[in-house]
Structure 1
Amino acid sequence: MANPSHPAHDLVRGKRLLRSGALLAALCLVLSCWPTVLAAHGGSSSGNQTGIPIPSLPHGEMAVIAPYYGRIVALAENASDTDETFRRLLNFAQIQRAYCLWGIMPGSVSDEESPFNECSHAYLAAAKAVLLHMRTMKNETAPVGNLVSEIDATLVRNNLSLILCKFSGESFNTADVIRPKLTDIILHARSLLAILSALLATVAGLWLTAQALRTEPRL
Structure 2
Amino acid sequence: MRVPRMNALLRSAICVIALSAVAPSAMAHSRTSAANHTGIPVPEISHGEMAVMADYRDRIIALASTATDTDEPFRRVLNYAQIQYSYCFWGRMPGSVTDEESPFNECAHAYLAATKAVLMSLREMPREAEAASAIVSEADADMIRRGLSLITCRFSGEAFNTADIIRPRWSEIPLHTASMASLTGFFAVIFGVFLAGRRWLKVQSSE
Give the shorter-chain TM-score range: 0.7 to 0.9
Which protein has the bigger helix share?
A: 2
Q: CA deviation at 1:131?
A: 0.3
Aligned partner of 2:205 in structure 1 is none
CA radius of gyration, larger in: 1
Counterpart selection for 1:190 from 174, 178, 189: 178
Equivalent in 121, 143, 155 of residue 167 of structure 1? 155
- The runs of 5 or more residues in structure 2 that have no matched partner are 1-8, 201-207
CA distance 1:211–1:88, change in 2 (3 Å): closer
**Relative to 1, partners in 2 of residues 1:25 and 1:106: Cα closer, same or farther, differing over 3 Å?**
farther
Partner of 1:124: 112
Paired with 1:36 and 1:183, the residues of 2 have a C-alpha distance of: 9
Q: TM-score, normalised by structure 1?
A: 0.77
Residues 28-60 of structure 1 show CA distances to partners (whole Å, capped at 9, x for unaligned) of 25324x3752232224x7422111111111111
Counting aligned pairs with the same residue, the percent is: 49
1:136 equivalent in alignment to 2:136: no
Moved more, 74-83 or 177-186: 177-186
Q: What residue in structure 2 maps to residue 181 of structure 1?
A: 169
Aligned pair partner of 1:37 in 19, 22, 25: 25
In the other structure, the counterpart of 2:83 is: 95
Of stretches 120-129 and 130-139 in structure 1, the one that deviates more from structure 2 is: 130-139
Tell me the TM-score normalized by structure 2.
Answer: 0.81
| Structure 1 alignment gaps of length 5 or more | 1-17, 213-219
Structure 2 counterpart of 1:28, one-letter code: I
Distance 1:63 1:26, change over 3 A: farther
Aligned to 1:11: none
